């Protein structure tokens, strides 16, 4: 297990177009969905005002998502639910993380997606998206004050646990701890211990 405090990796900024562009608010994004401009067939998500394409999933990715869902559900109390590849709402974004541990019950989100106060843990499964998940998504989730963010890293066969978000001009997580395939991760949520999850059990 490798521990790293004060994560210093500088977020990569996407290049801006050379012509004037328009950033959408969350409310405008919702209206485009309600009016059928964007449908479930449009594989996009709202990231910091930009409508961005979502990556196509491969079998190892989807297998790891299912393994993560299974491990979480086997440990959580009835107070929590696990959402799979479903949206959350932040001030300027509506990403769709691979897994979200949120307060239950499920009907709590019948009319609105989970927000920061609803969320205990976000998980992204990363192979080709590893750099973006470490930088772009980490910045977005830290700005939203998501307390705990995991990356199931299929390239290096490890789980990266990010905690202690800071906001401001350069949002980031202050702490990162890497768990290898031989390690187990403590699932500690709001002072409650839900046991250990083996990294091996999260990898395809």
User: Where exactly are the structural domains of the chain?
Assistant: 2-202
Nearest-angstrom CA–CA distance, 2 and 53 = 33
Nearest-angstrom CA–CA distance, 190 and 147 = 10
pLDDT given for residue 45 in this prediction: 82
Instruction: Identify the residue whose tokens are 């401001």.
Output: 168
pLDDT given for residue 62 in this prediction: 96
Please give the C-alpha separations between residue 156 and each of 41, 101, 136, in angstroms, as whole numbers.
32, 24, 19
Please give the C-alpha separations between residue 151 and each of 78, 112, 132, in angstroms, as whole numbers.
25, 25, 11
Residue from 201, 204, 194, 199 nearest 82 by CA: 194
Quick: pLDDT tens for 41-65: 777 788 777 777 777 779 999 999 9
What are 188's two structure tokens? 């500690």
Strand 99-103 and strand 192-198: pairing? unpaired
pLDDT given for residue 19 in this prediction: 65
pLDDT given for residue 8 in this prediction: 41
pLDDT given for residue 5 in this prediction: 44
Strand 44-47 and strand 50-53: pairing? antiparallel
Would you call 91 helix, strand, or coil by DSSP? coil
pLDDT given for residue 9 in this prediction: 44
Nearest-angstrom CA–CA distance, 62 and 53 = 18
Output the tens digit of pLDDT for each of the chain's 204 residues. 544 444 444 444 555 566 666 788 888 877 887 888 877 777 778 877 777 777 777 999 999 999 999 999 999 999 999 999 999 999 888 899 999 999 999 999 999 999 999 999 999 999 989 999 999 999 999 999 999 999 999 999 999 999 999 998 899 999 999 999 999 999 999 889 999 999 999 999
pLDDT given for residue 32 in this prediction: 81
pLDDT given for residue 52 in this prediction: 77
pLDDT given for residue 31 in this prediction: 81
Nearest-angstrom CA–CA distance, 152 and 150 = 6
Q: Which DSSP helix (H) or strand (E) runs through 5?
A: strand 2-5
* CATH superfamily assigned to domain 2-202: tt1808, chain A (3.90.1570.10)
pLDDT given for residue 16 in this prediction: 57
Alpha helices in 21-173 (DSSP H): 26-34, 59-73, 130-132, 138-143
């Amino acid at each position: 297990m490798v521990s790293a405090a004060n994560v210093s990796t500088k977020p990569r900024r996407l290049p801006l177009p050379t012509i004037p562009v328009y950033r959408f608010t969350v409310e405008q994004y919702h209206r485009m969905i309600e009016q059928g401009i964007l449908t479930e067939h449009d594989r996009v998500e709202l990231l910091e005002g930009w409508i961005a394409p979502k990556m196509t999933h491969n079998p190892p990715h989807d297998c790891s998502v299912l393994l993560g869902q299974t491990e979480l559900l086997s440990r959580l109390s009835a107070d929590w639910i696990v959402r799979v590849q479903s949206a959350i709402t932040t001030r300027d974004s509506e990403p769709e993380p691979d897994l979200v541990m949120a307060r239950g019950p499920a009907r709590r989100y019948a009319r609105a997606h989970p927000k920061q106060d609803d969320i205990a843990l976000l998980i992204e499964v990363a192979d080709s998206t590893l750099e973006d998940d470490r930088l772009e998504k980490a910045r977005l989730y830290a700005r939203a004050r998501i307390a705990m963010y995991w990356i199931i890293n299929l390239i290096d066969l490890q789980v990266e646990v990010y905690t202690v978000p800071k906001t401001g001009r350069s949002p980031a997580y202050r702490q990162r701890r890497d768990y290898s395939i031989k390690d187990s991760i403590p699932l500690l949520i709001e002072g409650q211990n839900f046991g250990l999850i083996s990294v091996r059990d999260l990898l395809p």
